[in-house]
A = this chain, B = another copy of it.
Amino acid sequence: MRPDTDPQIRHLHLFRDMAQAHFADLMTASYVQAFPPGLEMIRQGDPADFLHIVLEGSVELVGQWAGRECTMAVVRPVSTFILAACIRDAPYLMTARTLERTRIVLVPASDLRAMFRRDAEFAVAVINELAACYRSVVRNAKSMKLRNSRERVASYLLRQSMLAGGVPTYTLAVEKRLLASYLGMTPENLSRTLKSLEADGVKIDGARVIITDRTRLTALVQPDKLIDGPDPVADSTGSGLPLTYG
């Protein structure tokens, strides 16, 4: 693998604490690949041969069933995805599709599995990563089951503002079509909901989000650390929708 990409990856919590020699071993076995936009890199059900690390671009993770599909996450640099499938040596549960031109590091799953037996620090890092991912999906499930679509949209908008540092205005990181699917609704419904939220303190102008009355919006959302995070010691990666979904 090209050594210039190493430092970015080395910074990830997953790889930060392992022995340099071990990290080098993993990187030697890995390689970088570039994908054009809209390409299915992984189809759900495929055997999990590689841990994927997004270097540039963005990747959509989608679940599919009976001809339907839903966006489960959007992964942005620099973060990993489908760690769990690699570890279990089990089929991918989600399809991965590039949203734009994307560079990916592919780490052979077998090397990965061998490595956390060799390097105790790495094992601990994997444990922490999986636990964090797990908790994030549980949060997500809670949000889906406890909130209606309006509340989900509002909480999403407020949360993104917080992640951006509490700014009153920002730009949506993903297409509304994807956001709708991620939030478990149709694009039409999202569009209507966004408009209706103008009465509750957020105005949407294209991809621009303007929080006009934070107090009012917060009252509607009732943000909850156990759903919206952040987790203490959160592993803040740069994911566009929610977070890493290792």
Contacts and interface: CB of A to CB of B under 8 A. Distances in A.
Nearest to A147: B65
A141 to B, nearest CB: 5
Contacts of A137: 134, 137-138, 141
Contact of A134 (B72, B130, B146, B224): B130
Nearest to A141: B141
Interface stretch (A22-30, A118-126, A192-200): A118-126
A110 B69 CA distance: 41
B144 A145 contact: yes
A2 interface: no
B226 A91 contact: yes
Contact of A222 (B65, B147, B222): B65
A135 interface: yes
Give the copy number.
2
A63 B139 CA distance: 9
A88 interface: yes
Given A72-B141, A87-B131, A91-B232, 12 more contacts: A63-B138, A63-B145, A66-B147, A70-B145, A84-B134, A84-B138, A87-B127, A88-B132, A88-B232, A116-B124, A134-B134, A141-B144
